[in-house]
Structure 1
Amino acid sequence: MASNDLTPRMQQIVLALLNEDGPIPVKQLADQIHISKRTVQRELEYIPRVLKKYGLTFCSKTGTGIWLEGDQDQIEAIKAELEEDDALDVSDRIERQKRLTLEILKDKTLKKLYYYSDLFGVSEATVSSDLEVVKEWFHKCHLEIKRKPGYGVFIEGSERNFRRALRVFIDENIHTEIIQEMYEDRNQSVLNVIQNKSERNIYRILDDDIVKRVTACILRIRDKRILNLTQDSYLGLVIHVAIAVNRIRRQEIIEENSLMTDGLRNDQDYDLAKRITKSLEDEFQIQIPEIECAYICLHIKGSKIQQLNIDEKSRSEIEESRELWDVVNEMIDCYDDSIAYLLKQDEEFVIQGLIAHLKPTLVRLTNGMKIQNPLLEQIKQDYPVIFERCRSVAKVIEGRYGYEVPESEIGFLAIHFGAAEVRMESRKESRRKVNIGIVCASGIGISRLMSSKVARDFADRVELSVYGMTDLSPYVLSKTDFFVSTIPIKEEADILYVSPLLPAEDMEQIAGKVRRCEFMPKKQDNQEFTIQLDQVNFIAVQIKNVIRLMEYQRVNNGITFEELLIAVSEKLAAYPERQSIIQEDLMRRERLCSQIFPDLSFALLHARTEGVVKPVFSVCQTKDGEPFSDPYFRGVCVVLIMLVPKDDHEVENSDILGVLSERLIEEEEFLDTVRHGGKEEIRALVSQYLNQYFKHYLDKI
C-alpha cells in the first residue's frame, strides 16, 4: 500500500490520522507533520478514494475535525506497514530536503531531476516528492520552484527575495552547538567544524575549498566590526559569502540594483564590504559585481553585535538622528509612562541601548532578515511582565514602519528595557558592583564566550575581567571578589569551577555569589584605598559645588524660550563664548527631545557642554508664580537647568544631578518647592538629597 498507492506526503497524513484516538482539526494535523493546511486539504482530495480499497473510511465534521474509521485489525496492519516505510524514509528525509533547499540556493540554474537524484543517491521519484515539500518553503519567501518538461527544475523570483531566502535558511539552520565549537577560536576554519559533523549534515553540501578560502579572506581583515559580530552573525556571513562566490564562479547572472547600491555606497559599513570583496577577488581571481558588495554590506548592517562601543563621532550621528529619537521616545512612553521620565534620563539605555539597537533592527525588518535569539524562551519565562510590555513597544515600530516585529526581536528589546530597570533600581539601593575574574588557560578563547554570557545576564551589577593562568598577581587576587574558572587554580582565592558553556545551574551559582557580594564591603588594598580617597574627595567637592553655586533667578512671564536661554547662560558663565556654547547645547538637546513636562508643571533643560567646568543645577521661576505665556512652555511655571561638563568625570557628575532628577518625580515636596519656593528653601532640599546620595555612595565603596 505505502509504496504503490500513496505518495510520501499522503503516507505522512494517513499515518498521523491512524495514530490519533479521535478527530483532529486539519490545522493541528498540518502543524504536527510540518506542512501547510492548504497542502493537507489538497492531499485529502485523493486520500479517501485510496483508503476505500483497504476498508477504511475517511470522516470529517465541521468544527470537530477529521478521522479514520474501520476494522481495528486492518487499521493496525496498515499502520505497521506505514511505520515501517516511514522508519526507512523519515530518518534522513528532513535532512535531505534541507540539503535540496541549500543546493537550489547555492546554484539556482536549471537542473534536471537526475542531477539531484545522483547527488543524494535517491530515485528521481523521491526527488520529485521532496521538491513538493521544499516548494512550500520557497513560496513563503516569494520564490517559485518551476519545472520545465524535458529540461529540469529552476527557481523563479527576484534577486532580492532570493537573498532573503538565503538569509532565512542560514538563520533557521545554524545550530548553537555548531557555533559554539567554532567560536572558541575564530582562527579555526569553519571548514574544520563542518568536517567534524556527520556526512548527512547540511553543511557538507558546501564546497570545502571555497569555505576554507572565504574564511581566510574574512579573517585577514582585522576589523573590529567583524570581530565584534555575534556567533551566528559571523558564521552566517561566511556561509553567505561562500555561496555568493560559488555562484560567481559558475558565472550565474546576478541582477544589478542601482537603487540599492547607490543607497548603500556612502554607508559607513560599505567600505568594510569593499575590503572583503577585494580580498575575495584577489583570492579567487574573479570579478565581483558591485551588487554583491551591497549585499555583504547589508548583511553586516543587519547583524547583531556583541557590544556597542560608541565613539564621539558615532554618538554625534546618533544624537542628530531626530527620527530615531522620536521613535525611541514613543517606545519608552509606551513601555511604562510611570517611569518613562527616569528611563529617558538614562543615556546608556537611550543611546547605547535602544537607538543603537534600533538601527540594525530596522535594516533586518526592511530586508526580511530573521535573527535568532537563544535567550528568547528564558526571557519569556523569567521576565514575563517585561516581555509583554515590550510587545506593546514593538507595536510602535509596526505602526511607524509597517513591519511586523517577530518575538526574537521583542526579546532583545526586553533585554534593553530590563537592564535599564535594573540600573534604575540599583541607584536607589546601597549596592555595589561585584568584581568577577573569568579564568581560562590563556585569557582568550572560551573565556570570551563566558564573559559575554555573564555580562549579558548581570548587566551593570558586575565588573568583569578576563585572566590567563599567568595573570593572577597578588593585586588581581586582592581586588577580585571571586573567580569563575574552567581549570584548576593553585592560588588561594574564592573560586567557582564551572562548565565552559555555563549551563543554568552554573549561572545560578554565580547569581548567588553576586547577590551576597554586592551587599558586602568591597575588597581593597592600600593602593586602591588611596585611589578611593581621591574619588571620595572628588565627589564631595562636586556635591559641594552644586549646592554652593546653585543659581536662582526670577523672570517675566512673557519671556520667550530663546530669551530665557540667554538669561540663564548669562547667569551660569562670565564669558560670551561660553554663554553661546551653553545656549547652543541646550537648544540642540531640546530639538532632539523636548524636556518640557506640562503634566508635572516644570521644564528640565539639560546638556553635556563645554560651556561649564563644574556640574550646574539652576532654577528659573516666573516672578508671579504663574505659568510662562510663551506657548512653547505649554503652561509650566518653572525651568530647571542641569549642565554636565564635557570631561572625564561625566558618569560621576551625571549621577549627582540624576539624584535631583529622580527626586523631582518621587518627592512632591521637592517639586512644589522648586515651583513656588525661595532660593534657600530649594537649596536646603538639594543639600538634603545630595547628603543622602553621598552616604549611600560611601556605603557602596
Structure 2
Amino acid sequence: MNQISNRLINIFEVLLSGDSFTSPSILAQSLDVSIRTIYRELHDVEELLKPFNLKLKSKSKLGYKLVGKKENKEKFSEYLKLNTNSYAWKSVEERRSLILIEILKSNGYMKLQTLADKLNVSESTISRDIEQIKPSIANYDIDVFTKKGIGIEVIGDEENIRKAISDLVYSNLEMTLALGLDIKTNILNYFKNQNSGILGLLNKDDLEEVVDVLVSSSNNIIYRITEFSLIGLVIHLTVAINRIRNGEQIVLDKKLFKDIKQEKMYIDARIIAGDIEDRFNIKFPEDELGYILMHLKGTRPRNISNKDGQDLDIGNYEAMILVDKLIDRFSEITDYNFHNDEMLVIGLLAHLAPSIIRLSNNLEIRNPLINEIKGEYLELFTIVKETSQIISEELEVNVSDDEIAYLTLHFGAAIERMKLDGESQSLNIGVVCASGIGISALLSSTIKSNFPDISLVEPLSVDQVLNEDLKSMGFDLLVATLNIESVIPTVYVNPLLTDVDLSMLRKAMDEIKISNTPKTKVKLSINPDIINQIKLIGVDLNQARDDVIYKIILEITDNEKLKQEIFDKVIKRETMAPVIIKDKKFVLYHCSIETIDKAYVVLFYADSDKRSLLYKDIDIGAMMLLPKPPVASDRYTLSNISKALVENDDLAISIQSKSLKNIKEILFESMRENNE
C-alpha cells in the first residue's frame, strides 16, 4: 500500500471512533482544518480500504462513516497506527528545527504539504516558519527558496549542508530520535556514558544487539515512544535475555495474560519478541511476552497529540504519585535532591506502571543481575530497599529483592548522572609525604596524568598538614602515604599508586563532587499561600489543546516572554507524561520552570457542553506550575492538591459548581488529614 498522509490517518481515526455518520464540518473542527481539506483527503480512498473489506459511505447532510465488520475495523486501526509518521515538537523553536532538518535532508524540491502533514500544522504555518529560520542558516552560506506550485529548495554547497545537518541533529537527542537519525548511536552513547556505573552490569554485546533490533523492527517502535521509554525498554529486554539464557522462568497468571492480550500493544510485544528470538536464537516463553506487553503499557508515546490513546489512566496516575513519594524518600535518606532528574522520573514511571499490575496480581519477576547488584552496590541496594517500603505501604504488597534490584538500576543511574553533572567541578588535591619533596612530588605527577578533572595537585609535607589551614587554602582532598590527622577527607595509598589506589581515589573524588551538590532535605509541610491564591476559571473545551493551555496561562502572567516559556515547558511535559484521567473526567497540565519565583495553581471547568475530540471525556482540570529548583513545601502542597483532585469527589463538584470558597476549605481539610 502507498504511504498515506497523517491528516488522512487522523480523519479515519475519528470515523473509527463511532458507528454513526460524522459531518465534514465536525471532522474539520476536530482536526483544525478546512472542510475543503476533508473533501480532498477522502477523495479516492477505495483502494486503501479494499484490503480490509471496508467501505466509506457518504450521505448528503449526514457526512461520512466507515462500513464493515468490527474485526476488519480493528485491523485497519492497527494499520493506521503503524503508518503514522508525524513528528512531535514541544515548542515553536523545535518545530522550526525539525522543518530545517527535513529541508536540508531533501534532494531537490520538497512540497509544503509534506511538511504540514508531518508536523500536523497548516501550510501557511510552514511558510511563516521557513521565513524565520532562513537567518539561522545564513552562516553556512545556505539559502531556502520557495517556488509556488512546486515546493521548497535548498541552495548551497553540499559540504555546508552536511555540516548544518550535523550541528542541528547533535544539538538535541530527542529531536534526533524523533527523526530516526543515528538512533542506535545516541542510545548506545547514553549507556556508554554510564559504563562505569551500575548500568555497566548490563551485557554490552546484548545491549547493542537489542538496540539494533528495535531500530530495525517493523513496528516502528522507536518512532512511537520517547527516548526515555526506549532506554527503559532496552534495559528490560537485555535483562530478559539474560534471564532466558540462565533458564530462569517467570510465571504469569493465565487469566491475566488472556485479558492483557486484548491490549492494543499486544501486537507490538509479539513483533519485538519475534525479532529478539530471530536475532539471539532463543525462544521467548509466553509469560515473558506478557511481561514485555506490561512494560510497553508503561511507555510514553512520542507523538504530541497522543493518538494511540495512551492517556495516563488511573493506574498510571497511581504510578506517578508513587514515583513522587519514592524520590521524596530517596532524597531524604541520601540528603540530595533528585526531583529535578527528569530521566529518573520518566524511568521510574515507565517501570512502575507495569510493576503495579504485576504486584497487584502477586506476580514475581526474576532479575538475573541481583547478585551483582547486591555484591557491588550493596549500600545503594539497601537504601533503595528502605525507599521501596513506600510501595509496600501504598499497595499493601510485598516487594521482592528482584523488584528492588530493578529500581536500584534506575536510582543508580541517577547517581551516575549526578556524578557526570559534577564533572565540570575541578578539585584541588594535596599529596602528603614526610618531606613534601620526594614521594609526594612523584605521586602528584602520576595523579595529575590519570585524572584530568583535577585543577591542582600540590605536594605537601606533614608539617604543612599540621600547621597550615589547608581547608581555607582550597584543598578538597588529601592523598597520603602515611597516617595523618586532618579535617579534610583523606585517601591512603601505596607509594607506587596501584590500580586499587586509583579506584579508591576516583571514588573519593566522586563523593566530594556529589557532596558539593546543593542538598535539599525533604520537609513535609504545606504552603498555605498556594491554596489561598488558587484561581478558578471557565474554559472553552471545544477548541484545540494549545488554545486551552494558552487561555489558562493568561491567568498566570501577562508577560509575553514568560507566557511562551510556560507554554513550551507544559507542552514538553505533556509529551513525556500526559495526565488524562477519564474515570474522573479530569486533565492535569503541570511542569517545573526556572523563571517563576512561586508555585501557581489554576483550576478550570468546562464553560459549555460542547467539546472537541480531545476533551470529549473531560469536565474539569488544573494547571500547576512549580519553581525550579522547587521548595519542598511547594512540591508537597501541589502533590496533595493533585491527589485530592482525583480522590475527593466533593472537590470535583465544587469546581463544577464554581465555588472557590468550598474548594479552599476542602483542600485545607485534606492537608490536615494527610499531616495527622
- With the length of structure 2 as denominator, give the TM-score of the two structures: 0.33
Structure number, greater radius of gyration: 1
Scaled by the length of structure 1, the TM-score of the pair is: 0.32
